[in-house]
A = this chain, B = another copy of it.
Amino acid sequence: MSNVQELPLLEPTGGQGVVPCCPPLTERPMSAPEAETAARMFKALGDPVRLRLFSAVASHEGGEACVCDISDVGVSQPTVSHHLKKLKEAGLLTSERRGTWVYYRVEPSVLAAMGQLLAMPAAA
């Protein structure tokens, strides 16, 4: 490939909080650019295999997992690698090589941003 977009869907505030990419879905109609950005996240989780991989990493001890720990999802190893790459490109996971193994970990702030997107308006 040539251009891997890494856009993170959030803007770090420097402090402990993050600014979600978009307001809650129920607050106002999303603009086209907002929707484009947010849809990338949802699409990344819109595949059963990716969802299982993501959940496996997210629920693993310390929020990180070696590929060998999570690659039992019923598809071939190249396919697992392919999906992990997609999740990485969507900004949901990060990867790091440590010796023989590669570890993936979740990007907690992005998860939070997605949660914000789906937040209900406090049951008005």
Contacts and interface: CB of A to CB of B under 8 A. Distances in A.
Nearest to A30: B55
Which of under 10, 10 to 19, 20 to 34, or 35 or more describes the interface residues of A?
35 or more
How many identical chains are in the complex? 2
Contact of A118 (B43, B52, B118): B118
A22 to B, nearest CB: 9
B52 A29 contact: yes
A31 B48 CA distance: 9
Which of A40, A48, A49 gathers the greatest number of chain B CB atoms within 10 Å? Answer: A48
B59 A35 contact: no
Nearest to A63: B26
Nearest to A45: B42
A51 interface: yes
Interface in A3-50: 25-32, 35-36, 38-40, 42-50
21 contacts: A25-B54, A25-B55, A25-B59, A25-B111, A26-B59, A26-B111, A27-B59, A29-B59, A29-B60, A29-B70, A30-B55, A35-B49, A35-B52, A38-B45, A38-B51, A39-B50, A39-B51, A43-B43, A44-B46, A111-B118, A118-B118
